[in-house]
């Protein structure tokens, strides 16, 4: 009995490891209202104010809540990647509702306007704005970037913390969400006439799947596509196009699952080991034409066996995950299925 219990526990830990972690700013949203008027709360809010870039966004991989940016230092480069910006904006909106401090409102509006301006006419968002000359200019689903923006803008139209926005601002947010949904539907990759899922990045103009870093090839994404599907299934009134996109996407998720193996992110041990009790896995990237999992070192050469790439990338990147499990569970109770 114990091996079976141990296997289930490990499966649970593996699944939890792939659930998006809150950013430091998002963690503040768990605080009670009176915390925002405390000395500790005010210090955290002052820190957030100090880290806003000149364009209105915030840097990634930075705890913007812990201490203020040195006033003499150069303002940071902001981004929408890795959960940056939307968490800070949510905190500031709540802080304004509670305290009435107009600095929080003004800082929020700079960030809110920045998100709207950064959206492409086709509905997609780059990883950061103003645009770079690199892969950051592509429409970015990678690590949930575009979905976080859509979730934020959707919440702007209906949650209490954002009631200070006027009708025109909320309408602009709603239009941005509608354009984003249209972009998602149009980006869904069709193979031999059958809609499948999405790439982690899509070309800013053509919407074709494109490469990001050297080891992130144009492909069908087993990770980012799940985040897209979960967002689409969370819509109150999905359009017929969105419903069709979900049906097709979930069908691909079901067809692409890998059973009978356990994944270990290691530089020294085999990445996959046989285990009949292991939960289903999905590869991070699948070759578009063949649906085969693909892997790569930093040299950009595609491999079809994870053991053929070097230890640095094999242990330094998440190539498999249990992502699809949640999509299948949500689809099973989705009212539009």
Q: At what angle do helices 145-156 and 102-118 cross, to 10 degrees?
A: 130
Compute the C-alpha angle 138/150/140, nearest 5°.
15
CA–CA distance, 98 with 38 (Å, rounded to integer): 12
Q: Which residues pair with 191 in a beta bridge?
A: 194
DSSP output for 118-187: HS-TTS---SSSS--SSGGGSEE-GGGHHHHHHHHHHHHTT-GGGTTS-HHHHHHHHHHHHHHHHHHHHH
Helix H, strand E, coil C: the string for 54-110 is CCCCECCCCCCCCCCCCCCCCCCCCECHHHCCHHHHHHHHHHHHHHCCHHHHHHHHH
Compute the C-alpha angle 135/247/305, nearest 5°.
50
Q: Which of 331, 323, 141, 313 is nearest to 219 (CA)?
A: 141
Among 82, 128, 137, 154, the one annotated catalytic = 82
- Is residue 123 within 8 A of residue 55, CB to CB? The reply is no
Among 42, 170, 213, 326, the one annotated catalytic = 213
CA–CA distance, 20 with 293 (Å, rounded to integer): 23
Helix (H, G, I), strand (E, B) or coil at 214: coil
Q: Is 82 a catalytic residue?
A: yes
Active site residues: 82, 213
């Amino acid at each position: 009995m114990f091996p079976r219990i141990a296997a289930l526990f490990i499966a649970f830990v593996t699944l939890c490891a792939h659930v998006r972690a809150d950013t430091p700013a998002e963690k503040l949203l768990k605080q009670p209202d009176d915390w925002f008027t405390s000395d500790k709360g005010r210090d955290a809010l002052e820190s957030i104010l100090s880290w806003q870039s000149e364009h209105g966004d915030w840097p990634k991989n930075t705890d913007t809540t812990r201490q203020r940016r040195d006033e003499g230092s150069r303002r940071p480069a902001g981004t929408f990647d890795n959960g940056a910006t939307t968490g800070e904006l949510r905190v500031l909106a709540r802080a304004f509702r509670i305290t009435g401090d107009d600095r929080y409102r003004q800082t929020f509006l700079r960030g809110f306007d920045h998100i709207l301006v950064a959206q492409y006419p086709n509905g997609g968002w780059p990883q950061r704005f103003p645009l770079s000359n690199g892969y950051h200019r592509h429409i970015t689903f990678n690590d949930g970037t575009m979905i976080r923006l859509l979730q934020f803008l959707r919440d702007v139209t209906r949650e209490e913390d954002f009631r200070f926005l006027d009708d025109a601002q909320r309408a602009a947010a709603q239009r941005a969400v509608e354009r984003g949904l249209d972009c998602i539907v149009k980006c869904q990759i069709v193979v031999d006439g059958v809609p499948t899922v999405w790439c982690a990045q899509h070309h800013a103009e053509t919407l074709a799947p494109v490469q990001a870093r050297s080891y992130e090839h144009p492909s069908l994404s087993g990770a980012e596509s799940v985040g897209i599907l979960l967002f689409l299934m969370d819509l109150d009134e999905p359009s017929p196009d969105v419903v069709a996109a979900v049906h097709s996407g979930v069908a691909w998720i079901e067809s692409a699952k890998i059973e009978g193996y356990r994944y270990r992110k290691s530089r020294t041990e085999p990445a996959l080991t046989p285990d009949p009790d292991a939960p289903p896995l999905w590869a991070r990237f699948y070759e578009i034409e063949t649906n085969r999992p693909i892997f790569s070192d930093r040299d950009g050469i595609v491999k079809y066996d994870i053991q053929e790439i070097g230890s640095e990338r094999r242990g330094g990147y998440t190539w498999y995950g249990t992502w699809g499990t949640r999509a299948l569970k949500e689809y099973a109770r989705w009212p539009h299925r």
